[in-house]
Amino acid sequence: MPTSDTAALRVVVDLNRCQGYAQCCYAAPDAFAIRGHEILFYDPAPPADRRGAIERAVQACPVRAISLQAGPDDGDAP
């Protein structure tokens, strides 16, 4: 059974809440990028070894648009 340090990560971004401040890009540039006019690109299932940077990105978001959940990205699965 994977530990919390090695469990799969799932990044969820509320794009309605995101204002394009790009603080996540500074905290975790391998996982988040702003391109064009405030268009956020992100890795919804980053490797577990990026957990620290992703957690910093979650904390850095001034509008709390990013959350981190355990488990793979299951798309629309219930």
DSSP string, 22-77: -HHHHH-TTTEEEETTTEEEE-SS--GGGHHHHHHHHHH-TT--EEEEES---TT-
| 41 and 13 Cβ atoms separated by less than 8 Å | no
CATH 3.30.70.20 is right for the domain spanning 9-70 = yes
Mean pLDDT in residue range 53-67: 97
Structural domain boundaries of the chain?
9-70
| Vertex 40: Cα angle to 61 and 13 (nearest 5) | 55
Q: What is the mean pLDDT of the chain?
A: 85
Please report the pLDDT score of residue 72 as a whole number.
Answer: 59
- Per-residue pLDDT tens digits for 7-22: 688 999 999 999 999 9
